Structure 1
């Protein structure tokens, strides 16, 4: 029965839904060639590397804003899935020790994480900003 409903709703000459409904609902292209993986990766990398807005990609690459945003989201999701086990995890003890040694060599013993620069005197900071950033 499910098969018959699917056929009646989408594939018969007098179907309930249009070809556009089918494409939009199921994210399947119907009769239109899509963008190549090279185009999609190029757009995603350009948007990330240069901060290019998605609507600019239409002018330079012929890809709509919504497709660019979808592509960027898929690209980022894929990178996270591929690399999360190695790079997006807490360090093990050996890696933590290495990070602590590196921080100590740079003058920050016992430091893991970001620096709080609000308490530093900034010799070359513009004088108008020094009060707000010196922490005093």
Structure 2
């Protein structure tokens, strides 16, 4: 009873306010760097490095990217919540391919691609669903005797 009376008389101590650390994401700068490294007419890293890093040749990469862009709005460039341009299709697709290629953690892409781990996870999910829907009929077949 006395404890309750004392607690009522003491002013409530406000809780400390914790602010989230906001990391600025420079989507366009990251896209330009990725483009200069792999997709420019004279890229910084040649065809051999592209094949090693992406486990496919550049024309196949661009073919799959084009199919995903045409079919799904997720793989088109959109504005983010603030009204700035969001991630480009190449950034999203590259993040998904790199996850599949290297089997790495989702937060690894923050430094080079400027993509957060939640978005990287979404990229992989939409990529896998998209490839399965677009290319399933064409490439899913029973093995032929030559395959075996």
Q: Same fold (TM over 0.5)?
A: no
> What TM-score do you get using the length of structure 2 for normalisation?
0.41
Larger Rg: 1
| Greater RCO structure (CA 8 Å; 6+ sep) | 2
> What TM-score do you get using the length of structure 1 for normalisation?
0.45
